[in-house]
Amino acid sequence: MAASDFGALRIAPSILSADFGDLGSAIGLISSQVEWLHVDVMDGHFVPNITIGPPVVKSLRQHSDLFFDCHLMISEPWRYLEDFKKAGADSCTFHVEVGRTAETIQLARDLGMRVGLSLNPDKSFALVEPFLSQIDVLLVMSVFPGFGGQSFIPEVLETVEKARAVVVRDGLNLDIEIDGGIDVTTAPLAVKAGANVLVAGNAIFGKSDPAAALRDLQATVASL
Catalytic residues: 40, 179
Judged by CB under 6 A, the residue of 11, 30, 38, 70 near ligand DX5 is 38
Report the C-alpha gap between 103 and 48 in whole angstroms: 26
Shortest distance, position 14 Cβ to Zn ion, whole Å: 6
Spatial CB neighbours of 32, under 8 Å, sequence gap ≥ 6: none
Shortest distance, position 191 Cβ to Zn ion, whole Å: 18
Nearer to ligand DX5, 23 or 143 (CB): 143
CA 194, chain centre distance (Å): 15
Report the C-alpha gap between 190 and 156 in whole angstroms: 9
Strand order, beta sheet including 10-13: 10-13, 197-200, 175-179, 137-141, 114-119, 91-95, 67-73, 36-42
Question: Which of ligand DX5, Zn ion, none interacts with 202 (beta carbon under 5 to 8 A by kind)?
Answer: ligand DX5
Shortest distance, position 171 Cβ to Zn ion, whole Å: 27
- Is residue 71 a contact residue for ligand DX5 (CB under 6 A)? yes
CB 197 within 8 A of CB 36: yes
Judged by CB under 6 A, the residue of 23, 34, 37, 40 near ligand DX5 is 40
Residue window 132-151: x/- pattern of binding to ligand DX5, with contact defined by CB under 6 A: -----------x-xxxxxx-
Q: Alpha helix locations (H) across the chain?
A: 23-30, 54-61, 81-87, 101-110, 157-170, 187-193, 202-205, 210-222
**Residue 64 CB-density burial (10 A; 0-12 exposed, 13-18 middle, 19+ buried):** middle
Could you say which residues in the range 143-182 bind Zn ion, by CB under 5 A?
A: 179
Could you say which residues in the range 11-40 bind Zn ion, by CB under 5 A?
A: 40
CA 88, chain centre distance (Å): 16
Q: Number of residues interacting with Zn ion: please give it, by CB under 5 A.
A: 3
Could you say which residues in the range 53-92 bind Zn ion, by CB under 5 A?
A: 71
- Is residue 115 a contact residue for ligand DX5 (CB under 6 A)? no
- Is residue 199 a contact residue for ligand DX5 (CB under 6 A)? yes
- Is residue 16 a contact residue for ligand DX5 (CB under 6 A)? yes
**Interface positions with Zn ion (CB under 5 A):** 40, 71, 179
